[in-house]
Amino acid sequence: MHLLQPRFYVGPLLATSALVCSSDISAQTAPSTLSCDMSGYVRRADVTARVSLGVLAVEWTAGGDERVSLRFAIRGGTPVIDELALRSGQVDDWVAVATNLGFEFRIVEGLRRISNQQLAPLRDLGVELTQDIVDRYKWDVFWDAPLDLRTEVSGGNPPPAAGVAGQPGLPRAAEEIRRGTAAFSASGCTLRTDGRRLSVTFPGLTLGSFTGALVVSVYEGTNLIRVEAVASTDLPSVAYKYDAGLTGLDLGPDSRVRWRDIASQEQSYSLRGPINEDPVALRAANRLVVAETNGLAIAAFPPPHTFFWAREVEINVGNNWYRKDGADTFSFGIRQGEQEVVDRYLANWSLYSAPPGTEQHMAAYFFPTLGGAEVAFEGALAFTRGDVYEPLDGYQVMGSHYHTDMGRTLMATGSVDSRLSDFEVLRSAGINIAGPVDRPREDTQLEEQHWLFRGAERHSDETFMVMPQMENSNLLGGHWDLLFSHPVYYVDERGAGAPLVTEHPEYGRVYNIGSVEDMLDMIDAEDMLVYMPHPRTKGSTGYPDAVRETPQFLNDRYRGVGWRWGMGSDLSEVRLSDKRVIPLLDDMNNWIAGTGLRPKYLLAITETYTKAPGDDIYANGPVSYLRIGDLPSPGDYAPIVSALEQGEYFVTSGEVLVPSHRYVGSGSGMSVVAEVSWTFPLDFVEVVFGDGVRTTSRRMSATDLPAFGSETFTIPFDATGQAWVRFAAWDSAGNGAMTMPIRLNAR
């Protein structure tokens, strides 16, 4: 059992960091004298650093029996890798992977605007739309496309069929878009040791309107290298995207780039063609490309989840790149798509949000190895468990809020037995329970429900279940999902004198819903649950805050809200959706403290549409691990509803798992005991609790633990006067897992 000394944090759980970026270098530029502030460095047996003859040498024990060496220098004010080398524990000689490597960062900036989809519910709530209100909510926009200059598009919002008007402040202008590459004026560096992590910071970066520093972090026990531009802008409405990579790799007879295409077939290019004028985009599976040089291999890949802002689809638009720069050198890395998506989806290509002064972490990972390309592929893929949600004894993996229009799609095929590829793709990602969320049309509402229910059963078996859901935008406030314990038919209309329940000749019992009371009666009678899928944004802007004192919210069937990153992706966040959803989870439980209600929960959602083989399912959606044992029979969703209602689950991005946790003791002697497993080096674990007014976190650093670990943590906390508590664990790539709150009965 691992008992860590806690570090205490009180109040909003919003963390920030340092600042960073970089540029190309010329191998002919003589190295400057490099001085480093070593005051934050702690020598460890397996991670060492020293400065000699103007070069900073960092060496560490990596995975298996490999050791890695990075030698940093500064040339013309630009940080470079003078040499990247590896050796086996059985061999004394170092093997140079590359020399004179540069760091390349490119940025594209646009203007962040609020959408009318956000403004509409605020107007309906009577909110005065001042500039302060606009500036508050614009950062959580979904329907924004700062790089799309087409005048015929409805302002970065859904197409007219979705019934949403364009954005204020249109049309966009070409001069709103700025492009830049990183430049440096560094004269030294700073070293900092944090457990098994050693970070080297080079200040003096400029990248478009951003300024900051380049940070390179290595981790004892793994080959993983994190390179990030940590930078901020003072401009008021910046949305941006970035690309990153390494330049100056040696192009020899055996050099090449390797990747797997969207059909997972191996591809490679020997770089024997002409010099490239631009980076070559790769639609590589798993967001992963491998460069072979000097007989060794380096994998490049992004953080798996923070790399993506909210989108409607998981289409792979090319997240990696290479470039032949000359007869003797090439470059490679990660990139973010711009105009490669089909027209329908450009309208919510919203980019990242960069509120003024926030430190944005633009990161890429590199994984060098002696073992060749296949070892590099395997080593990199291990961090995301092969892009498959790992099976866990006693649990089923649930994905939710998939806009597949299952009922309508099956109707269009003419056969309820049509097989939809959406669910085959979800099953292949390790998901056991898939929740399609339909929004039937008024004139075919019952028919679409019928096809949805029947089709869901036909796509289900003992290892995979399709669990129907229905998204609504009436009565209860904002958008909200109904989760069914069994098929239930209803229409959104109840005429004068009509009963709540009628018998339909084909569908049997049908509910006629005309009021909040009608809806709550059906939900209670039919064992249904409610979650708000995208709170405080989109059509739920201002919600659930606006209904916190209503009968619907103060009903145990109203379980909580959806958790998904994006919809205002902000790379200053430490946790996924650190500024919108996670604070709301804690707010909701403070609102209901003392009411006797069950705590409010999160449900992992996606908000994505049609899926096809090759789509990046894993990176774009979190999941919920439900403790329910075996799947129930098709059409019987009651055990799933029960687990959700009782909070017998945790939500996760996939890399961090919490197989078990419990609370022991009471009052000032209470502790949480939690079993955690992870892939990326862990960052911290925390116990979070609230007294009805204030939220408190006791956070423990876990940076002294290796990558690919498993540990049981014990965190003491004072539960005196507290109303609720939950546990969470977060890794160094921003991935994490959260358990559902429990009530402490303090009131």
Summarize pLDDT for 580-591 with one digit per residue, the tens.
Answer: 999 999 999 999
CA distances from 646 to 126, 470, 485, 525, 640 (A): 36, 21, 14, 18, 10
Could you tell me how far CA 121 lies from the centroid of its own chain? 26
Question: CB-based contacts of 554: which residues, under 8 Å, 6+ apart?
Answer: 592, 595, 597
- How confident is residue 7, by pLDDT bands cut at 50, 70 and 90? very low
pLDDT higher than 90, residue 567: no
pLDDT higher than 60, residue 570: yes
pLDDT for 162 equals 37
pLDDT higher than 80, residue 78: yes
User: Taking the CB of residue 300, how many other CB atoms lie within 10 A of it?
Assistant: 29
Tokens in use for 388?
């498959």
* Arithmetic mean of pLDDT, 484-505: 96
pLDDT for 221 equals 97
pLDDT for 29 equals 52
| Helices assigned H by DSSP within 129-258 | 131-137
Sign of the Cα torsion 156, 158, 161, 166 reads negative
pLDDT higher than 50, residue 726: yes
Residue 584 parent element (H or E): helix 581-591
pLDDT higher than 50, residue 297: yes
Answer yes or no: are the C-beta atoms of 658 and 676 closer than 8 Å: yes
CA distances from 79 to 20, 71, 157 (A): 12, 11, 42
- How confident is residue 283, by pLDDT bands cut at 50, 70 and 90? very high
User: Of 250, 258, 357, which Cα lies nearest the Cα of 301?
Assistant: 258
pLDDT higher than 80, residue 5: no
* Arithmetic mean of pLDDT, 365-391: 97
User: Of 284, 294, 291, which Cα lies nearest the Cα of 253?
Assistant: 294
pLDDT for 746 equals 47
Virtual CA dihedral for 364, 365, 368, 372, nearest 10 degrees? -100
* Arithmetic mean of pLDDT, 307-319: 91
Domain ranges of the chain: 2-108+180-384, 396-484+528-652
pLDDT higher than 70, residue 668: yes
User: Taking the CB of residue 625, how many other CB atoms lie within 10 A of it?
Assistant: 28
Distance CA 85, CA 509 (A): 71
Bridge partners (DSSP) of residue 175 are: none
Tokens in use for 4?
């860590």
Contacts 24+ apart (CB under 8 A), 93-100: 94/69, 95/294, 95/295, 95/296, 95/370, 96/294, 97/293, 97/294, 97/296, 97/298, 97/368, 98/246, 98/248, 98/249, 98/250, 98/293, 98/294, 98/298, 99/248, 99/250, 100/25, 100/27, 100/248
Please, what is the Cα angle at 640 between 637 and 645, to 5 degrees? 120
Q: Please give the DSSP secondary-structure letter assigned to residue 44.
A: B
In CATH, which of 1.10.1740, 3.20.20, 3.10.450, 1.10.10 is domain 396-484+528-652?
3.20.20
Q: Which numeric CATH code is attached to 2-108+180-384?
A: 2.70.98
Strands (E), 403-557: 433-438, 465-466, 469-472, 480-483, 489-491, 501-504, 508-512, 529-532
Virtual CA dihedral for 120, 122, 125, 130, nearest 10 degrees? -130
Provide the percentage of residues in the chain whose pLDDT is more than 70: 93
Question: Phi and psi dihedrals of 592, rounded to 5?
Answer: -100, 5
Residue 645 parent element (H or E): helix 638-646
Bridge partners (DSSP) of residue 532 are: 561
- How confident is residue 91, by pLDDT bands cut at 50, 70 and 90? confident
Answer yes or no: are the C-beta atoms of 608 and 402 closer than 8 Å: yes
Distance CA 562, CA 538 (A): 13
Rounded to the nearest integer, the mean pLDDT of the chain is 92
Answer yes or no: are the C-beta atoms of 640 and 531 closer than 8 Å: no
Could you check whether the bond before residue 544 is cis, i.e. omega within 30 degrees of 0? yes
Question: Phi and psi dihedrals of 170, rounded to 5?
Answer: -90, 160
Contacts 24+ apart (CB under 8 A), 32-39: 32/73, 32/74, 32/75, 32/76, 32/77, 32/187, 34/72, 34/73, 34/74, 34/188, 34/189, 35/187, 35/188, 35/189, 36/188, 36/189, 36/190, 36/191, 36/200, 37/188, 37/189, 37/190, 37/191, 38/191
pLDDT for 151 equals 59
* Arithmetic mean of pLDDT, 570-585: 95
Distance CA 104, CA 108 (A): 14
- How confident is residue 169, by pLDDT bands cut at 50, 70 and 90? confident
| Three-state secondary-structure class, residue 173 | coil
pLDDT higher than 90, residue 154: no
Total number of residues shown for the chain: 747
pLDDT for 745 equals 75
- How confident is residue 723, by pLDDT bands cut at 50, 70 and 90? very high
Sign of the Cα torsion 263, 308, 102, 194 reads negative
pLDDT for 158 equals 42
- How confident is residue 163, by pLDDT bands cut at 50, 70 and 90? very low
- How confident is residue 33, by pLDDT bands cut at 50, 70 and 90? confident
* Arithmetic mean of pLDDT, 642-655: 98
- How confident is residue 23, by pLDDT bands cut at 50, 70 and 90? very low
Could you check whether the bond before residue 613 is cis, i.e. omega within 30 degrees of 0? no
Provide the percentage of residues in the chain whose pLDDT is more than 90: 87
Question: Phi and psi dihedrals of 359, rounded to 5?
Answer: -85, 105
Question: CB-based contacts of 477: which residues, under 8 Å, 6+ apart?
Answer: 540, 543, 544, 546, 547, 550, 552, 553
Residue with tokens 């249109």: 170
* Arithmetic mean of pLDDT, 485-505: 96
Bridge partners (DSSP) of residue 690 are: 695, 724
Distance CA 504, CA 491 (A): 12
pLDDT higher than 80, residue 166: no
pLDDT for 13 equals 29
- How confident is residue 568, by pLDDT bands cut at 50, 70 and 90? low
pLDDT higher than 80, residue 156: no
* Arithmetic mean of pLDDT, 175-184: 97
Please, what is the Cα angle at 654 between 290 and 65, to 5 degrees? 50
- How confident is residue 150, by pLDDT bands cut at 50, 70 and 90? confident
* Arithmetic mean of pLDDT, 378-389: 98
* Arithmetic mean of pLDDT, 374-381: 97
Distance CA 126, CA 124 (A): 5
| Helices assigned H by DSSP within 382-533 | 406-413, 421-428, 445-458, 516-525
Beta strand pairing status for 529-532 and 558-563?
parallel
Q: Please give the DSSP secondary-structure letter assigned to residue 289.
A: E
Please, what is the Cα angle at 474 between 472 and 478, to 5 degrees? 80
User: Of 388, 465, 463, 453, which Cα lies nearest the Cα of 423?
Assistant: 465
- Kindly report which listed range (20-29, 226-235, 301-310, 456-465) carries the lowest average pLDDT score: 20-29
Tokens in use for 240?
């941006």
Distance CA 486, CA 491 (A): 17
Question: CB-based contacts of 326: which residues, under 8 Å, 6+ apart?
Answer: 251, 275
Write the single-letter amino acid at 219.
Y
| Three-state secondary-structure class, residue 516 | helix
Between 609 and 249, the higher pLDDT residue: 249
| Three-state secondary-structure class, residue 538 | helix
- How confident is residue 2, by pLDDT bands cut at 50, 70 and 90? very low
User: Of 539, 425, 550, 429, which Cα lies nearest the Cα of 481?
Assistant: 539
pLDDT higher than 60, residue 17: no
